[in-house]
Amino acid sequence: MRPSLWLSCLFALTALAADATKPHIPLAQQPLRMAKDIAAFEAADKANPPPQHALLFSGASTLRMWKNVAEEMKPYPVINRGFGGSYTTEVLGYMDRITLPYHPRVVVFQCGGNDVNAGDEPAAPIARIREYLARVRKENPDCAFVFIATTRAPSRKAKWDLLDDYNRQLEKLCREEKNLWYVDINPALNLPNGEGKPGHYLKDNLHPDVDGYKAIAGVLKPAVDAAWKATEAAYTGK
């Protein structure tokens, strides 16, 4: 073998060995995947600046696809910044652009199920959620959070045990600090055997249908009401 070829092979093997020691981050979790979506949010904000201290929805596609969320959450001012199928890595990566500038009074957050479905252990997205929470409260310490459980969707039956573990850890997190609420939407969407209630899911058996979103609103709104009330003095002085 020629020396130059041998050296090329050696460098290639060395690079592979080095890569093998790095944490695996799937390509789908890289922030650039959602660059166009984030740019569209920023363009919308520039054209029509959203209110400060609003009710911010932050997370993945279940929130993104909730088209009438502002109607369901009246009388609160709503900013919906769900995007993707996003991962918690992406929500973290873009929070300087589509979370922090709004100085939200209440954040409704649902993200993490895609991470688990892609192979993460539940503790990994929970750690990222802790970072998200800490970064928001560093700049906006009175902000309240309503964390929505990830959906035990029929299409993800093979992951139900891991998704249940994730939800338990999320619920535990919500007991650790003040003004954190945990909302389990699964009883509103699913039958006792875990199968989806008729008419509550789209054909993909993953995302809610119109009736599914109505059911989610029914269990989510009381927590939003409580979070909004708890932050009244901090944001209005009343």
How many CA atoms lie less than 13 Å away from 203 in the CB half-sphere?
A: 0
Res 25: pLDDT = 53
Residues 6+ positions from 86 with CB-CB distance below 8 Å: 34, 59, 60, 61, 111, 114
Average pLDDT score over residue span 3-11: 41
The residue-averaged pLDDT of 11-27 equals: 39
For the segment 35-49, the average pLDDT, to the nearest whole number, is 97
CATH fold of 26-232: Rossmann fold (3.40.50)
Q: Please report the pLDDT score of residue 29 as a whole number.
A: 54
Q: pLDDT at residue 24 above 60? A: no
pLDDT at 2: 47
**In the chain, domain spans:** 26-232
What's the whole-number mean pLDDT along residues 11-40? 57
Instruction: Tell me what pLDDT residue 3 has.
Output: 43
Which of 116, 3, 103, 92 shows the shortest CA–CA distance to 54? 103
pLDDT tens per residue across span 187-218: 999 999 989 999 999 999 999 999 999 999 99
